[in-house]
Amino acid sequence: MPGSLYLAWRYVAHHWIKTTILTASITLIVFLPLGVRVLIQQSAEHLTARAEATPLLVGAPGSPLELVLNSLYFGTEMPDPLSYADVDSLDAGGLAQPIPLYTRFRAQSHPIVGTSLDYFAFRNLSVADGGLFTLLGECVIGVRVAEALGVGPGDAIVSSPESVFDLAGVYPLKMRVAGVLEFSDSPDDDAIFTDLKTTWVIAGIGHGHQDLTDASAAAGVLRRDSMTITANAAVVQYNEITEANIASFHFHGDLGSYPVTAIIAVPPDQRSATILRGRFEEGDLGAQIVVPSDVMDELLRTVLTVQTFVLAAVVVIGMGTLATAGLVFGLSIRARQREFTTMVKIGASPASVRWLVASEMAVVLSAAMLGATLLTFVTAAYGPPLIRALLL
């Protein structure tokens, strides 16, 4: 028996190309249905957990899925904006606590989320190092942002321009990191949070600039009369908010007209939620309200349907692969008839020969099972973030 195993091992090692191809084929065919199932199950749990923790989401009319993916997972597709007046009216309605979100900008690959302090309590996020933002131009970062960019409290993060070719577009804003959040195993770990007003500064609708009444700003003055000073494009606008220039930052017009991408609505009870949904579904508020868990369930139903087709295809391919593997073994045994005859002639029993062949198959199958198991574990560990990255 140990002799048979040794001979089997020597055989598969000698014919390593054939063995590797066989092992890889069987590994993949065992892993694929397992991996797909684990991947979808874990991703579904991850996605639905965050959706279920978000009772209602208000956004501009459009794709509910885009609204949910952008607002909950900070996906790159930005829904049409609402105005901040919608936040105020939701608050005044008294049926839900509104938490505004403005997710238009990024710093490298990390989303910049403009929101209110209520967001942190709502998501049970706590600060691991430093504190929450207090002044315009400050931000709080997720732990993975801190690791990826190597920044911490007191350091700075610069927002990315939306397009390098858009010379008239938004200017980068250098934000001071006020704190780093505790690890939460959620998209919040990859996000940069700041006050909604800071994101409006990034958008250029709030700004700070040279004092136009000062002589040093003469080059930036286009026209001056007794009541009005008109600036030209040469006026120096600040791209960092500091103690020295913060007082010069201001917002023009009515803040109610400023943009938000979504509003998380947190009703105190089911009755308020139902009334609120009814009001939006009457359709005269110019916005949509969605239940994120319903939207994600819909998405996952689609994914599960696809999964069924994928599994069916994998089973068919698997049967073909196993048949091919059987054929390979069969042909291999037939090609080795003289080898087996020689073994019997030099004293090996027919049973030993059968053990030898069985051991060779066992080595290949064991290696394939081990490979499939390892791949499944890797999928379980790294699959959900991968799926999030692919979906978002």
Summarize as ranges the residues that interact with other proteins (CB under 8 A). 91, 93-97, 116-118, 131-136, 138, 195, 197, 206, 211, 213, 227, 246-247, 249-251, 255, 267-268, 272
DSSP for 256-312, please give it: GGSEESEEEEE-SSHHHHHHHHHHHHTT-SSSEEE-HHHHHHHHHHHHHHHHHHHHH
Joined tokens for residue 321: 């692969």
Q: Which is nearer to other proteins, 8 or 192 (CB)?
A: 192
Q: Which is nearer to other proteins, 196 or 372 (CB)?
A: 196
**At closest approach, how far in Å is the CB of 289 from other proteins?**
15
Helix axes 2-14, 16-52, angle to 10 degrees: 90
Joined tokens for residue 103: 């997710």
**At closest approach, how far in Å is the CB of 288 from other proteins?**
20
**At closest approach, how far in Å is the CB of 321 from other proteins?**
59
Q: Which is nearer to other proteins, 168 or 227 (CB)?
A: 227
* List of residues 6+ apart from 293 with CB closer than 8 A: 48, 51, 52, 54
3-state secondary structure of 121: helix
**At closest approach, how far in Å is the CB of 63 from other proteins?**
28
Q: How does DSSP classify residue 239?
A: S
**At closest approach, how far in Å is the CB of 319 from other proteins?**
58
Q: How many whole angstroms from its chain centre is CA 340?
A: 57
**At closest approach, how far in Å is the CB of 87 from other proteins?**
8
Helix (H) or strand (E) holding 56: strand 56-59
- Cβ atoms of 34 and 310 within 8 Å: the answer is no
d(Cα 220, Cα 340) in Å, to the nearest integer?
95
**By C-alpha distance, which of 104, 281, 269 is closest to 200?**
104
Joined tokens for residue 228: 């009005």
- Cβ atoms of 352 and 343 within 8 Å: the answer is yes
Q: Which is nearer to other proteins, 119 or 355 (CB)?
A: 119
Q: Tally the residues of the chain.
A: 392
Q: How does DSSP classify residue 209?
A: B
d(Cα 259, Cα 81) in Å, to the nearest integer?
6
Q: Which is nearer to other proteins, 229 or 310 (CB)?
A: 229
* Neighbour tally for 69: CB within 10 Å: 23
d(Cα 50, Cα 296) in Å, to the nearest integer?
10
* Neighbour tally for 84: CB within 10 Å: 22
Q: Which is nearer to other proteins, 247 or 335 (CB)?
A: 247
Helix (H) or strand (E) holding 230: strand 229-231
Q: Which is nearer to other proteins, 268 or 278 (CB)?
A: 268
